[in-house]
Structure 1
């Protein structure tokens, strides 16, 4: 194990405890009618996706939604830039996790030339205004930037490339982040100058060790929200009523899934 990394047993114990607190937070958001938006941004392969996965693992998908938008359509490109993100903002009692967000314009669009200089400058001007409006309207907005070194990013890229179960997570666009490392660094620095505002500050998550990053990010999120445990109405499982004259149709008349698992039951 690399020096400085959280041991697995300690990590699993703490992440499970934090996930229990996230369940309490979600219930507080739901019952109090709060609206919570969490923005996940950062370098490619910095651990955003795996952190989101741990955040939502035990949460109700009807309350907590992951927003990961595809490339905008031609119609959306002609709209006000923030328009397609607005429709995914949470209603009262909901949480929205943005797996990348409107900050695409400050990062990949800026570096890869997918927007004009004028569009980029307009974004940097409008973004703080947009976020202040969200906060003034009562939305709880948290923004996290996941940071990783160039060496660790390349190591994770190579691991994905060699793993057929994760190769889908690697695209030609991702690999551009290696050759354009400094361009992305400059774009991030410029973004922070304009959008790290008191109403919606950026919080940086060191993600060289993914386990540490997950624990640190979730712990910080919980510390910034004055939630409390909501007492739920106790439930009791009712007694099953006596059977009547119902008769189940013969199983031979139904299409059944083959019992493939039967071949494994005698194996360790």
Structure 2
């Protein structure tokens, strides 16, 4: 896996370098369309992810022309993302659904497109525990892990429809979901939450026979693409570019790096997933 990861990075560096040589002949100015990819719980760090952000920025900039400038930023820690957003808010971003739920009102997020992990704009989260564990989540005690659980209050509402303080267990964010799953199978953790991609990846493995699903969330929107603040003349152009990427052969490797099969129209139900900061209520 490490060799495969290195090969991907070598390919991406070469792709970005070639793109930059071509693009540097056309300096840009004017409108800033900087973006942030905010994915709490994803592995790696901003330095490792920056080549992907640069590639995405160059792709968008090439499509929009030299009247705009684009720079990408990546965050997998909520506190770093919030600090950045308060100081230098970008024009748009791709954000985790939990981050959207907690912060959409504060930062004026307007959905303009949806990601398509596994080809769908919706997904469901699954709570698993070991085979000998309780059959109902209300009987679970201890710690439950998942890489989508860093926004604990939002995650509790998204997964259970209950405020976090009413849960009989503690939600814990993790950057190593597979390790957490092994701990569940061994009885060293109460449970783990899997998104659709993780569920499909784990289902063929031997470890799947050692766990069981005790709760599935309602249908949830996939991570949205959002505009920060009032949309302007660039918003429709940007969403059109994103939604055309899955038909563009030049974007295929970039989409794989972004872990989405493309981008679709904004989910019309997203506004119902906004929540305030009061833990007593969900949506």
Q: Taking structure 1 as the reference length, what is the TM-score of the superposition?
A: 0.33
> Of the two, which has the highest radius of gyration?
1
TM-score of the two chains, using structure 2 as the length reference: 0.31
**Structure with more strand by fraction:** 2
- Flag the structure with more relative contact order, 1 or 2, with Cα contacts below 8 A and sequence separation at least 6: 1
